[in-house]
Amino acid sequence: MGKILDYDEMNEILDGLDNKVIKKEKPIGYTYFGYPIDHYVYGHGKYHVIITGGTHSAELISNVFVIRFMEKLSKGEIKIDENYTLHFIPIVNPEGTIIVTSAIRSLISRDISLEEEQTYCLTYYRNSYIEGVYADKYGDRNYKLQQMMFRGATPLILDDKHYRLKEYLIDLFDKNNLPQGCMINWSSNGRGVDLNANIEYSSFINKVSNGEEMYAKLHLNNIRRDKLGPLGCPYFQKGKIERENEALLKFYNEIKSKYNYIGSFIYHSCGDIVYYLGEAKEKNPWINLTKDDESRNFEVAKTYADNAGYKLDGLEIYTTMDSKLKSLFPVTLLIELGSVRATPLSQFMDLDIGGDDAFRCVYSKIISNNIKAIIRTLEVMVKVYEKKF
């Protein structure tokens, strides 16, 4: 097995975990096309924590990081002290993960060598970089090299077991004239809704309903955000929240009302940044943060950032699902894994060459630094929860 994992491989690993260490619970919900959003639990401690990955499916490293962390716990390679119960949702957006990893497998097969896998990741990174330069210089919305690497990835490559999703996507590609090869950039769910943008205060809602054309940036500037598709589109039907988000909100509420919920880690990629709820620049529509709340959020986020070697950012605009979770369920951190851009493949580069430290062992550093950071941060989450700092 390589570093890149597809949807089926993820589930193989998850199914193989020691169920005396990590227990599979019933799913927190099901997607529109019927896929379970699976929930796993580690530990029996009184302090409860939620860890999620893959809201944006193109940010594949976030699923892989969470799953590899669970695997290490299951094998006893890491132990977390008995004070904690960790709730894992390693695949928040199963449909998106199926789409993006099917695209990857259309070119990069499971059985290639680690060296070949590295070459693909590096090439993908370079091609995205070149397209970023073109977009910057000329603003062109032509074919993108990194999408052309995956030009064979049309909805037809989806396995027939995903036939409902497949048929829907065939229609969607046709109807919205989606760019060739863009399945490799799929961050949305199967209906083409960006789950993080799918909230009541999304800044895009009015623009979209007014029919304004909006494009993604840099190497993705041929993708429209105002139409259902790979990324950015806030709703399927105006005012409607997607099932993944409904399930997640219900789940957070349940954990918070039943237990001592002390915080959560939401994984995205990329940027090497820890986002937390700091000083409000505009009015928070869900809560009024006190100075005490702000310093608690800061304390926890800083512990994580210091241990992972990441930057801190406390600025917030309240236009995303994650900002809603950060507001309603303190202390929640959003962590952007990896310093190199161009998901889903660049974060799997793991070469121990090159002068620039940012490009050395990208993958290994993501895994080890973030595991260390979680373990240290848990202690501070408890301290802050018990207000003893």
Which residue's CB is nearer to Zn ion, number 74 or number 101? 101
Which residue's CB is nearer to Zn ion, number 191 or number 268? 268
Tokens of 379: 């202690």
Which residue's CB is nearer to Zn ion, number 47 or number 267? 267
Name the amino acid, one letter, at 265: F
Minimum gap (Å) between residue 344 Cβ and Zn ion? 11
Instruction: Tell how far CA 257 is from the center of its chain.
Output: 25
The verdict on 225 binding Zn ion (CB under 5 A) reads no
Q: How distant, in Å, are the alpha carbons of 18, 67, 267, 293 from that of 73?
A: 9, 10, 18, 31
Minimum gap (Å) between residue 305 Cβ and Zn ion? 18
Name the amino acid, one letter, at 184: I
Minimum gap (Å) between residue 254 Cβ and Zn ion? 24
Number of other residues whose CB lies within 10 A of the CB of residue 65: 27
Minimum gap (Å) between residue 165 Cβ and Zn ion? 21
Helices 7-15/60-74 angle, 10° precision = 20
Which residue's CB is nearer to Zn ion, number 64 or number 73? 64
Which residue's CB is nearer to Zn ion, number 232 or number 330? 232
CA distance 26 to 36: 9
Number of other residues whose CB lies within 10 A of the CB of residue 188: 29
Q: x/- site string to Zn ion, residues 40 to 69, per CB under 5 A?
A: ----------------x--x----------
Number of other residues whose CB lies within 10 A of the CB of residue 79: 11
Q: x/- site string to Zn ion, residues 239 to 268, per CB under 5 A?
A: -----------------------------x
Which residue's CB is nearer to Zn ion, number 51 or number 289? 51
CA distance 287 to 45: 28
Which residue's CB is nearer to Zn ion, number 56 or number 162? 56
No. of helices (H) and no. of strands (E), the chain: 11, 10
The site for Zn ion, by CB under 5 A, has a size of 3
Minimum gap (Å) between residue 194 Cβ and Zn ion? 9
Minimum gap (Å) between residue 59 Cβ and Zn ion? 5
Which residue's CB is nearer to Zn ion, number 125 or number 275? 275
CA distance 150 to 93: 21
Minimum gap (Å) between residue 231 Cβ and Zn ion? 9
Question: Which is nearest to 369 in space by CA: 65, 17, 86, 85?
Answer: 65
Name the amino acid, one letter, at 155: P
Which residue's CB is nearer to Zn ion, number 74 or number 196? 196
Asked if 256 contacts 87 with a C-beta cutoff of 8 angstroms, the reply is no
Minimum gap (Å) between residue 270 Cβ and Zn ion? 9
111 — phi, psi (to 5°)?
-95, 15
Cα Rg of the chain, angstroms = 20
Minimum gap (Å) between residue 183 Cβ and Zn ion? 17
Residues that bind Zn ion (CB under 5 A): 56, 59, 268
